[in-house]
Amino acid sequence: MQKRAVVRAGALVLASLALSAFDERIARWSQQSSVQGGEGRKGFVRGATTVNEWPLTLAAAGAYGVGRLIGSPTTADVALHVGESLLVTEAGMELLRCTIGRRRPRASPGDPFSFRLGGGFTRFEDRSFPSLHAAVAFATATSLVDEIRLRNPSAARYAAPPLYAAALIPGFTRLYLDQHWASDVAVGAVLGSLAANVVVRRAHDRTEDVLSR
């Protein structure tokens, strides 16, 4: 099953990379005055974009602590797996984007193919690809959806749409703020989902192995 997931994710990454042909056009559209709007809209987006790796990871850690405190193994278990997924995603995405060194739209206007190999280790402007915001948002959503599917399959169909809809928001905020190209967001979302899927599945496989002994 995981091999199929990797193949499917690879195909999605390739499809997402194809978006790079439209990155400049999408960036121009996102910076139009009609899209940017007034200060109220800008303030809302700036607030929404603060939902990133730190708040999500701290929330997972807090939920784990609450689960242990109130004696709820399910809460603690789910929170632990979400936290693990986020840590794996954050580490992987940071290494990728620092190494690849793609320049952000604000630093390279009109040129989505500007790269400085290894530049992301020293310059924030060279950490565009993939989007960490999109990756952690989709890692969180996928972890929760997988946990629900494994524990209560019938509920997953109702939980998945709002969770994935919420996961779209950070990526859109980064496009609006001219911090990422569209392909950065798409690839980040795919890789975050893949990382979470693998982490959650392996965590449950480990649990089943322990229980079967």
User: In the chain, what percentage of residues exceed pLDDT 90?
Assistant: 82
Quick check: is 57 in a domain? yes
Residue 137 is encoded by which pair of tokens? Answer: 């948002």
Cα torsion 176, 178, 183, 184: sign: negative
| pLDDT exceeds 50 at position 207 | yes
Mean pLDDT of 122-133: 95
- The enclosing H or E element of 143 equals helix 132-151
> Does the residue 15 lie in any domain?
no
Q: Is residue 25 part of a domain?
A: no
In a domain, 18, yes or no: no
Per-residue pLDDT at 213? 39
Asked whether residue 117 is assigned to any structural domain, the reply reads: yes
Cβ neighbours of 203 (radius 10 Å): 19
d(CA 12, CA 166) in angstroms, rounded, equals 20
Per-residue pLDDT tens digits for 137-193? 999 999 999 999 999 999 999 999 999 999 999 999 999 999 999 999 999 999 999
Burial of 181 (0-12, 13-18, 19+ CB in 10 A): buried
Q: What is the tally of structural domains in the chain?
A: 1
Q: What confidence category does residue 16 fall into, taking pLDDT thresholds of 50, 70 and 90? A: confident
Unique residue bearing structure tokens 């193994």: 73
pLDDT band at 89 (very low <50, low <70, confident <90, very high): very high
The reply to whether 56 falls in a domain is yes
The Cα–Cα gap between 89 and 86 comes to 5
Domain assignment of residue 58, given as a range: 2-7+33-212
Residue 155 falls within a domain, yes or no?
yes
In the predicted model, what is the mean pLDDT of the chain?
91
CATH number, position 87? 1.20.144
Which range (81-90, 93-102, 197-206) has the least confidence? Answer: 197-206
The answer, yes or no, to whether the previous bond of 130 is cis (omega within 30 of 0) is yes
Q: Is residue 27 part of a domain?
A: no
The model's pTM is 0.90
Percent of the chain scored above 70 by pLDDT? 92
The tens digit of pLDDT for each residue in 90-109 reads 999 999 999 999 999 999 99
